Structure 1
Amino acid sequence: MTAPDWAESALALLLHRAGRTARQVGSRFPLYAEPGDGRWTTTGRGSWTGGFWAGLLWLRARHRAGIAPSDVLAAAACTARLAPWATADTATRGLILWYGTALAFDDKGADALRARAARTVLEAWEPRHGLVPWGTALGGERLRARADGVPGLVPLLASAGPEGERAADAHLRRHLDLCLPGDGRRPQPSWRYDETSATWTAEPAPAPGWTRGEAWLLLAVADGLLGVGVNRPVTVPDHRPGTATLAEAAEQLLRTGEFLTGPLIPPAAAHHRDGPLDTSAAAIAAVALRKLALVPDAPWTTACTARSDAILHRLVHAHLTPSDGTRPGGMLLDGCYDSTEHTAVWHELVWGDFFLALGLAALRGDVDLTRV
């Protein structure tokens, strides 16, 4: 299938913006940019978003492969700067070190970093709780479980061999057991383990209705169904033991998260429809839906494909800045970093740019989503 012209031009615009960003931030990592002038707030080590910047640079290198070898060198150098995160105590190592390396090509350093990260994450695996804890590297108590501690970590763990595959499966299922109520309510995205009572307790923040958290969970389930990280897809229905099959979890998330019926661009908090939108949640969902459409024999293929295409079209035509000289082109605006703290609530977010670019690249046929 030939990608529509709007997808081609939008991807080129996004990746041109990435080139300008690279020149602006140097060896630092972009986090979010002001909607007026495109000025980036940056971090020195990348925080939990650093892998998306490296991944965006790899997408840029793939798009322009053979034209500008310097793009490959820039992507490889950025990935190398993620190395300290391999031993950091955080489940967001999945976000950082899977997406920061999975799109790399002909780069032994990225392959070695991914392999090292897979081993160290597996070492952090706690069989007693059936998961890799959220960790302390980003603050707070270590023994927590959060929706954003699942995507990326599932394929990263799975790439560590048979033991890693078992840990990845259990990590995903433990989070689904906690996060999916099973009674039609929206997912509960954050939990803390109480050693005194030996029970998991829901945390007040992020609260149910956090649409980015729901998109993260959908992405992780899609990766589990496709066997991303081991390149061995499973069929639907999934008959492995658990309180719910992955197929049933996908159907529940599609329903309770309103991925097929709700607004194309959701509010950051589902219960505050008049609050800020989150285009980054929509971009993540577009990729997750396109992945679900690749699951063999799935009943949702047509609906997920159509919805993913519609989300990408809306993001490009309503939220991506044009190259008209009034402000930098290629900015995916209306992303919400943190609505509770009122931090960057209408901004360009680096992971929003990444997932929009990834979705458009998949639409073009440049990227195989069963491997990323």
Structure 2
Amino acid sequence: MSKSRWAEAIGHMQTRVDQTLSTVKTGFPHWADSSTGKWTTTADGDWTGGAWPGMLWLLARRTGKAKYLDAARLWSSRLRPRAHLQTAFKGFGFYYGAALGDILCKDNDAALLALDAASSLKAQFDYRLGLVPLGGDAEESEDVGNSFSSIDSLQAVPLLYWAGAKTGDSSYDGIAARHTKRVLDIHMRSDGSIVQSSELNPATGKVVRHFTHKGYSDSSVWGRAQAWGLVYTAIALAHDPHEKRWMEQLIAGADWWLSHVPASMVAFWDFDDPAIPNAETDTAATAITCSALLKLARLAPTAALRAKYREAGESTARALIDNYLTTAGPNDTRLPGMLVGACFNKRRDARAQDSANKAETIFGSYYLFESLNILDGLVEAEKV
């Protein structure tokens, strides 16, 4: 696909960003109704909050316009109350919402905020468990406490590695590497599929049980679990390319996805839902995986593998923009630039603000927007 097609899709998503900037003044965009485009917001950003300033940082870098840079700085600063919460998931918010401001725009205030959160996150590492536990403030469907982990907790990794590079303090890198290794070894099955959650013995670190917070069943493959594992392993590898075991796991996980995703290239919310093919899609999980595939296309050890994953990433992006990105054309009266078809959380015990199906999610939109900007040549995949 030509770069003009990627640029066209970026333009549609920029229109959606502009519309959101004009309508959302307080509360972070979280998910939106796919027919009206109205955002459900969270007061402090919840775990998804960094995706919104992340899109603004990308637009500031892309356009050079002060309105996007000013908005990115504003929304990044509004994440501050979450900097010291006890949750592994703040790695997502402060990497994309603040550290990305340093990476893309050399913004000093954003860097300082990200370092504050990273220092707190590093202190959450539990040496008995060998990882950063979910934490008592983690946004899950139960009181998870400090003896639970999940593949989602790899969200801690990018912020820790960025902080190590920014400060020269190798302790950040050490914690990031130990966390990555432990979480992958606990949650990746031998066939390359990934289980979402685990309970650990708080005294020994031994795995008590595997289960899921958000998938169809404890033995199923929740689409977003597979996606999180792929994208954060790719980011870890970009920082520690000598970790051959991670490369093996990343390739196994990517190949599992590619061999199980439907011909449409867009995943169902859970790969094992018996309602398939009538189950809900999850374009958010698919967009996350698109980002992971494009990163793997830069990191894989051979030219043949790099070409394979580049084509897979491009095919995934095409599927999303051709079938799930609104364009406000003659046959579509919706707002342009919405990535619809995401399944936020289907389980009945989900928090009310997360119980959205066939929706637009801010984090799904972020990962598609990132991927499109990679494909269009703005940034290199392994740099973000």
TM-score by length of 1: 0.90
Question: Does 2:376 correspond to 1:356?
Answer: no
Partner SS, residue 300 of structure 1: helix
Match of 1:230 in 2: none
RMSD: 2.0
Given the superposition, is the C-alpha separation of residues 89 and 365 from structure 1 closer, same or farther in structure 2, using an over 3 Å criterion?
A: same
- The Cα of 1:187 is off from its aligned counterpart by 1.5
Partner of 2:305: 300
Is the alpha carbon distance of 1:121 and 1:36 closer, same or farther for their aligned partners in structure 2, counting shifts above 3 Å?
A: same
Residues of 1 paired with 2:372 and 2:340: CA distance?
Answer: 16
Quick one: structure 1 residues 198 and 64, their matched pair in 2 at CA, closer, same or farther if it must change by over 3 Å? closer
1:70 maps to: 67
- State the SS of the aligned residue for 2:40: strand
Contact 2:28 2:43 in 1 (8 A): yes
- 1:365–1:88 CA distance, 2 compared to 1 (3 A): same
Aligned to 1:203: 211
Structure with bigger helix share is 2
Q: Which string of whole-angstrom CA distances, capped at 9 and with x for unpartnered residues, describes residues 185-223 of structure 1?
A: 732110112347863221243343111110110011111
Query: Per the alignment, do residues 126 and 35 of structure 1 end up closer, same or farther by CA in structure 2, a change over 3 Å counting?
Result: same
5 Å matches for 1:191-270?
191-195=198-202, 199-200=206-207, 201-206=209-214, 207=218, 208-227=220-239, 234-235=241-242, 238=243, 245-258=245-258, 262-263=262-263, 264-270=265-271
Deviations 1:130-173 (A, max 9, x none): 1111011134322211111103x212112232111111011011
What residue in structure 2 maps to residue 157 of structure 1?
Answer: 160
1:28–1:45 contact (8 Å) kept in structure 2: yes
Distance change in 2, residues 1:220/1:185 (3 Å): closer
TM-score (norm 2): 0.87
For the 8 Å contact 1:260–1:303, the answer to whether it is kept is: no
- The alignment status of 1:113 with 2:120, answered yes or no, reads no
Given that 1:333 and 1:348 are in contact with CA atoms closer than 8 Å, whether structure 2 keeps it comes out as yes
1:181 is aligned with what amino acid? R
For residues 229 and 83 of structure 2, the distance between their equivalents in structure 1, rounded to whole angstroms, comes to 22
Aligned pair count reads 355
8 Å contact kept, 1:143–1:192:
yes
In the TM superposition, residue 178 of structure 1 has moved relative to its aligned partner by 0.7
Q: Supply the distance in 2 between the matched residues of 1:72 and 1:113 (Cα, whole angstroms).
A: 16
In the alignment, the residues of structure 2 paired with residue 189 and residue 261 of structure 1 have an alpha-carbon distance, to the nearest angstrom, of 18
1:335 counterpart = 2:358? no
SS at match of 2:30: strand
**Structure 2: stretches of 5+ with no match in the other structure:** none
Contact 1:118 1:157 in 2 (8 A): yes
Question: Which ranges in structure 1 are unaligned for 5 or more consecutive residues?
Answer: 228-232, 240-244
